[in-house]
Structure 1
């Protein structure tokens, strides 16, 4: 029995005529409706014709999270007086509740993406509603792009609706072919904003770390809200760990029950949260409660102001979830939870002045996440570089290149980026391509470990992958139940892929004609926001976010069940299976103990905790890692012990053996090295190094340590200074002799000495001046003018030959005793530049500095004479130096 009273109370009902008219006329539309107006529940029922109006259609609603998909389906079924599985059903990874009479099916975006890959025409589907599109999850953006492609090329009758409460409506409208924007101005209840910043500054989030002081403040704000307001309190926190810590800080609230809701929460808890409680409740939630869900009884929201988003650490080749400031759009969504049923209040744990500095929308995952899975989806769709896809944001070129490199390494794409049969098999598995590769290469024997790595495991499982596997088997919690379901799904799919491969080997032609993409077995979907590759709550692996693998790296063997050298064998224990699977998925993260930390094949260093079961093992593989505040190294959050044979086998593509000649520790080092990526396995010195490699090492040494490695006599240094002066003053043809210029022309001036050198000692014997003279302009004849333009010495009035100091190429210096310059009215010049004359006292100390002798004799000399005459009475101090006889002798010598 349809609950018309509940349906008629939903404000979005007024927008239905405009929405249906837009779809009939244009086929696409953008629906903007505030939270609580019924866009998720009423609109699909109306479009499907289940309310007694309009034609009968089959509608698919895509939600970003499993909990939202189930809740929306339950709510719509309740409005129709049914249970899920009748006219309204749902499908999430590993679970489908729907039947042949189902007209509205709510699915996760990952499931829908798999369906579109399998059946691009979406046979039997009339309308697709992309709900909460403002969240910009990678699966959702990809699905939207594929659906637009389908509508443009195969199904012009397919209707598309992009729906959200807060979104870039104009951007989505452009993406969907200038679709009309329909707005529903529902009768939202007023929500009072209470600014509740911490009394003292807290440290900003870093990685997965949140300042405990902020969590303590959130707990105190919750207590304040309970005292000041009526109704249930919904608290937004970034992750499961923070929820647990705040729950611990709240303790027993007495009059209020504390519930925790997130993607890993048991179904019973999720149901309890979405149903009215018998007593007051405090619901601690992640961003799963931002949209699509109505938590009954909530009148107050406490917003920590934090969220989790995926990020790629390019420097370390790791990707993981990281804690960020929530966007303005997310803050509005969260606040709206308090006004769905009655007037409410939101306590924001930051200052009002900070609010305007928050980002407007969440960062699109396509800009910040690991794109390996996306690149494989695009390749299987037939658009390897995604250039033809209708995307709000283009994928970064660097991230796409790294993703293609990773896919090429596992055999998922060919050299041109086109999907291989193996790549299409990996897409059908519905997990990250790295994990899919491990599943296929172990023939399904690694399904348990792959399932464990596909979704964030509880932190209490520890950092030892084998130990976490045993804990999952024992676990009677929601995670354990979901893990077992995923294991069954993966085993079934792995078996089908093996059968498909075997059949393909005997009938390539039939295999080639199969539809690109597709999925089989239980409704799968890619690893999406709820425990998948790039979701807000669960990365590919590891506690509180884990990682989804470096963008790149290489993988080892490409096909078949792992062999006896390093793979899974009958009777292998958990430790070996866990290690092999993780090494196949993350070959560049096999790591060897080295100097107090582990050095990965990728070159990144990682540390394990003091009490870790991994600590001290000669070899491990890192399945998940992050970087603690202030640490230069990564921290292992989930890993497995392996042996060297497994490391060599799984990361075989990184194994290299060859000659290495380089400049190290101040000299040329020649050795034969066997290495696994950055890990040196064996090193042997050798003497018969390739002369060209030696030459390059010597040049590297000169670049690092400078040309001071050569033998520089006083004459050589002066020659370089004179040439630098002429290059600055005259220019061509006088050469630039800076380090950069000399490196650029090293073959012109340092050969053949360099070609004969083998080590540092040989460089030290090279006469730099003799080599530098090769750069003089001999061909033009200008070299002969060197002494004319920049003489090494100059004859002063006394007859002395005095050296010119060219160390300052802007103005050379002539240091000479004052008495030797008597009678000279103008400062001497070189290449037209007046010398800066340092007039020295009889003791050789500067008495005056001038570039204008005439001015000095006229104005400055009197003061110098008065000061020094009494100190040096044996030397001449005439009253008129301009006419005096220059001399380098004392008065006594002059009288003789």
Structure 2
């Protein structure tokens, strides 16, 4: 038997499906120094691939995991197979916890830890191989780490072995990236899952899954009821998936006393290690493990034969316009649902209860969106700047980041002083990047330590970094609760100690005479100056509604102890679709002086000229972000700003604010007719076109306007004439005449208020016309509205020749008895036109008989 524990394990491996593919993995690494392993959860890839790689390379093998709990669990699993304690041949390193030593050959780490190591030592001295596990989850750190490793292999360490392991069929895409010009070899390991029955458990009619406050209590009741049903109908332990820590706690409490001989255990990343180990270890009794997505693919929960899936997950989303980032509850993808269900079939036939309908399942997304497409990119942008590649287009990323999100991240970093205008990192940026938290929190730690003391700054930043729940949204109350102890205090204290060492020279702990209330608010404001908020004045709900410097409204939840405070520093807020204001989840009090100091980069004074209530309003305004601090009237505003204000007013109120004379309306109608009939150069005079060309036709009139009364004085006719094209304008009266001379000698006005120009004229005045005139160079015939002697409509035609033949006889028959003194000749094409009742002798017609109406 080999003395080397790794060789002993490989000589007598456990019965896991991946063992059959280890030879192919080793061959690919010898040939190409890279390989992609595609194997579903439960095949043993996380356990057996790392020792296989370690047996063939010089140096340590580092294995990444997406979560701390997974890294510790994987290290414990492999160490137990080697018959050694964790920290010997196999160790781990996660944020705030490391168990490895000089003899460690395989080290499990979170992706964030490896990213830090790459930034400190791009050559990864002492490491022979990197195994990237669960790359299918597409976490932002994992995508970036893979891209940086590919650059390291190309330029610094061509000998570095690289293994990417995926649980989904998208491995081919990863292989194309990993292999560079030629795709990396793919070793596919089939799963050995037992059959899993799918049981649909949709919500009862009338029950909503979520409302404006989040998941409803009724939905959590339904999940708990489904767990009870599964316990009654199936054998084995139950693994229930919920989206977040709060929902896990809610279902655990609902399952209290579920039955004799059943233990109900939570599982998530915030639990102490001992409680995580308890959920991940077989127990003496039947168990229900209520977990977040940590157990979806990177953890094994032994004994599970039943899965209850709530069908939800938490994914990062950022509202870049409002500057709000956070985790959002979304429907699970079909790929993730299959992975969750597969947990029930690892040890034998199982069942997966899904808390949605089969019809709903068909509408789920096929795969989860990669974090790079949805998450806040501030940390990402700082990492690539510190790496020396501020433009991500040069990195081998599976997906490029959205341009808008990257621009927003760079704007944030410039405000922190972390990057130059061209995106290159500054010395301050390197200091911020060296603190293992979000760049905004790192800035708050470094700058806040000088004001509130290093210890207190570390406590507050750890409170924010660990995402500790604040009762009633009050962060000060949360801080005091952690100092007294409690379930979350251990992880918080470890984070405090770690952050405390990141303060240069240890900082200072001098009493700065700031109370905890104000100290917490200041540090939060330093982290999020865009979330400094002031109470909105003059509202009935003014005691709970705030305006942030970012311009977003925010409302305190009912019953919060922060109600009525004039200034707040908001640490966390979310805005649900369809709701105008965000809801404040955590905040702290802030004085006005400290608010303005923390958000000093947003302070600005500007002349503002706008249009309000039908007039130009000019003010000199002092603001911090969107919050107005002071304003004074501006006596002599810039004419250009005045003109801009008038333009805005016209776009808002419309052109009807002008005084449109009949002549101006008529000219506009004639121009509109010619534009429609002939096109350019005759101008478009529609509302939209005129509003978009205000400078062209209003010209210098704009700067003289101070209100609606001035607009009423504008000579619109003269302004419109500025739009007349030259030299074509000389033909305006020819192409679109104001009047037309009819056979009787009358000048009759043409109406252009319609799709076709209209000439309304008495029928007797057009006797002798064979056809109606045509306008616009003969392209558009006049539409004749032929009137009776009383000027009432008798007929409408644009084909006068046809009318004389087929329409006129009927009109003549109907009207000649009513108007016997007017001419009604048998042949109107040869009859002389008349204006009045006098008829020429050659146009006499016989009078109808007595009593006839004609």
TM-score (normalised: structure 2)? 0.91
SS in 1 for 2:394: coil
SS in 2 for 1:301: strand
Q: 1:425, 1:497 within 8 Å by CA — same for their partners in 2?
A: no
Q: 1:825 to 1:572 in 2, by over 3 A?
A: same
Partner of 2:532: 590
Partner of 2:77: 75
Q: 1:47, 1:57 within 8 Å by CA — same for their partners in 2?
A: no
**Structure 2 counterparts to residues 712-727 of structure 1, below 5 A:** 712-727=660-675
CA-to-partner distance for each residue in 1:729-782, whole Å, 9 max, x for gaps? 33454333334544555445433433443433222111111222233345x3x4
Of 127, 137, 140, the residue aligned with 1:138 is: 140
Q: 2:67, 2:110 within 8 Å by CA — same for their partners in 1?
A: yes
**Offset at residue 867 of structure 1 (A):** 4.4
CA-to-partner distance for each residue in 1:377-420, whole Å, 9 max, x for gaps? 10111101122221111111221111111111111111221111
Q: Distance in 2 between matches of 1:245 and 1:868?
A: 88
Q: Distance in 2 between matches of 1:67 and 1:748?
A: 67
Q: 2:608, 2:619 within 8 Å by CA — same for their partners in 1?
A: yes
Q: Distance in 2 between matches of 1:289 and 1:180?
A: 28
Q: Distance in 2 between matches of 1:733 and 1:143?
A: 59
Of 863, 877, 885, the residue aligned with 2:810 is: 863
Q: 1:710, 1:763 within 8 Å by CA — same for their partners in 2?
A: yes
SS in 1 for 2:493: helix
**Offset at residue 789 of structure 1 (A):** 2.2
Q: 1:184 to 1:745 in 2, by over 3 A?
A: closer
Q: 2:57, 2:128 within 8 Å by CA — same for their partners in 1?
A: no
Partner of 1:114: 116
Of 835, 838, 854, the residue aligned with 2:782 is: 835
SS in 1 for 2:560: coil
**Offset at residue 488 of structure 1 (A):** 0.9
When the two chains are superposed, the root-mean-square deviation of aligned CA atoms in Å is: 2.6
Residue 410 (str. 1) matches residue 420 (str. 2): no
Q: 1:631 to 1:55 in 2, by over 3 A?
A: closer
Partner of 1:494: 503
Q: Distance in 1 between matches of 2:10 and 2:781?
A: 100
Partner of 1:578: 520
Q: 2:822, 2:838 within 8 Å by CA — same for their partners in 1?
A: yes
Q: 1:332 to 1:749 in 2, by over 3 A?
A: closer
Residue 448 (str. 1) matches residue 459 (str. 2): yes
Partner of 1:538: none
**Offset at residue 587 of structure 1 (A):** 0.7
Q: Distance in 2 between matches of 1:630 and 1:699?
A: 31
Q: 2:614, 2:707 within 8 Å by CA — same for their partners in 1?
A: no
Partner of 2:485: 475
Q: 2:264, 2:290 within 8 Å by CA — same for their partners in 1?
A: yes
Partner of 1:192: 197
**Offset at residue 248 of structure 1 (A):** 3.6
Q: Distance in 2 between matches of 1:334 and 1:752?
A: 69
Q: Distance in 2 between matches of 1:815 and 1:348?
A: 74
Q: Distance in 1 between matches of 2:573 and 2:815?
A: 75
**Structure 2 counterparts to residues 378-777 of structure 1, below 5 A:** 378-443=384-449, 444=454, 445-458=456-469, 461-477=471-487, 479-496=488-505, 570-594=512-536, 595=539, 596=542, 597-628=545-576, 630-743=578-691, 745-777=693-725
Residue 797 (str. 1) matches residue 743 (str. 2): yes
Q: Distance in 1 between matches of 2:731 and 2:168?
A: 77
SS in 1 for 2:722: helix
Q: 1:292 to 1:771 in 2, by over 3 A?
A: closer
Between 1 and 2, higher relative CO (CA 8 Å, sep ≥ 6) is seen in 1
**Offset at residue 351 of structure 1 (A):** 3.1
SS in 2 for 1:8: coil
CA-to-partner distance for each residue in 1:165-209, whole Å, 9 max, x for gaps? 225211111111121111222433222223333353765768882
Of 159, 162, 168, the residue aligned with 1:160 is: 162
Q: 1:741 to 1:4 in 2, by over 3 A?
A: closer
SS in 2 for 1:886: coil
Q: 1:82 to 1:462 in 2, by over 3 A?
A: farther
**Offset at residue 222 of structure 1 (A):** 1.6
Q: 1:48 to 1:4 in 2, by over 3 A?
A: closer
SS in 2 for 1:716: helix
SS in 2 for 1:571: coil
Residue 854 (str. 1) matches residue 796 (str. 2): no
- Say which is worse superposed, 428-437 or 191-200, in terms of deviation: 191-200
Q: Distance in 1 between matches of 2:129 and 2:121?
A: 15
Q: Distance in 1 between matches of 2:213 and 2:36?
A: 35
SS in 1 for 2:307: strand
SS in 1 for 2:157: coil
- Which runs of 5 or more residues in structure 1 are unaligned? 499-560, 563-567
Q: 1:138 to 1:753 in 2, by over 3 A?
A: closer
Q: 1:133 to 1:730 in 2, by over 3 A?
A: closer
**Offset at residue 23 of structure 1 (A):** 1.1
SS in 1 for 2:811: helix
Q: 1:878 to 1:247 in 2, by over 3 A?
A: farther
**Offset at residue 805 of structure 1 (A):** 0.5
CA-to-partner distance for each residue in 1:235-286, whole Å, 9 max, x for gaps? 1111122222323443421132221111112323211111112211111111
Q: 1:271 to 1:186 in 2, by over 3 A?
A: same
Q: 1:162 to 1:842 in 2, by over 3 A?
A: same
Q: Distance in 2 between matches of 1:593 and 1:104?
A: 55
Q: 1:793 to 1:763 in 2, by over 3 A?
A: same
SS in 1 for 2:313: strand
Q: 1:128 to 1:3 in 2, by over 3 A?
A: closer
Q: Distance in 2 between matches of 1:476 and 1:91?
A: 25
Q: 1:777 to 1:224 in 2, by over 3 A?
A: closer
Of 806, 819, 827, the residue aligned with 2:752 is: 806
Partner of 1:245: 250
Q: Distance in 2 between matches of 1:313 and 1:176?
A: 32
TM-score (normalised: structure 1)? 0.87
Q: 1:192, 1:345 within 8 Å by CA — same for their partners in 2?
A: yes
Q: 1:207, 1:626 within 8 Å by CA — same for their partners in 2?
A: no
Q: Distance in 1 between matches of 2:720 and 2:522?
A: 59
**Offset at residue 452 of structure 1 (A):** 1.1
- Say which is worse superposed, 187-196 or 865-874, in terms of deviation: 865-874
Aligned residues: 819
Partner of 1:511: none
Q: 2:272, 2:491 within 8 Å by CA — same for their partners in 1?
A: no
After the TM superposition, list the runs of 4 or more consecutive aligned residues in structure 1 that deviate by more than 6 angstroms.
1-6, 891-895
Q: 1:90, 1:105 within 8 Å by CA — same for their partners in 2?
A: yes
- Which runs of 5 or more residues in structure 2 are unaligned? 845-854
Q: 2:377, 2:409 within 8 Å by CA — same for their partners in 1?
A: yes
- Say which is worse superposed, 268-277 or 725-734, in terms of deviation: 725-734
Q: 1:388 to 1:205 in 2, by over 3 A?
A: farther
SS in 1 for 2:514: coil
Q: 1:207 to 1:117 in 2, by over 3 A?
A: farther
Q: Distance in 2 between matches of 1:244 and 1:842?
A: 90
Q: 1:646 to 1:826 in 2, by over 3 A?
A: same
**Offset at residue 298 of structure 1 (A):** 0.6
CA-to-partner distance for each residue in 1:28-58, whole Å, 9 max, x for gaps? 1111122222211122223223xxxx56642
Q: 1:6 to 1:867 in 2, by over 3 A?
A: farther
Q: 1:205, 1:323 within 8 Å by CA — same for their partners in 2?
A: no
Q: 1:589 to 1:458 in 2, by over 3 A?
A: closer
**Offset at residue 86 of structure 1 (A):** 1.6
Q: 1:305, 1:326 within 8 Å by CA — same for their partners in 2?
A: yes
Residue 29 (str. 1) matches residue 40 (str. 2): no
- Say which is worse superposed, 406-415 or 242-251, in terms of deviation: 242-251
**Offset at residue 487 of structure 1 (A):** 0.6
SS in 2 for 1:61: strand
CA-to-partner distance for each residue in 1:765-807, whole Å, 9 max, x for gaps? 11111222233345x3x43332222221122233332211112
- Say which is worse superposed, 661-670 or 103-112, in terms of deviation: 661-670
- Say which is worse superposed, 253-262 or 192-201, in terms of deviation: 192-201
**Offset at residue 655 of structure 1 (A):** 0.9
Q: Distance in 1 between matches of 2:688 and 2:465?
A: 51
**Offset at residue 358 of structure 1 (A):** 2.7
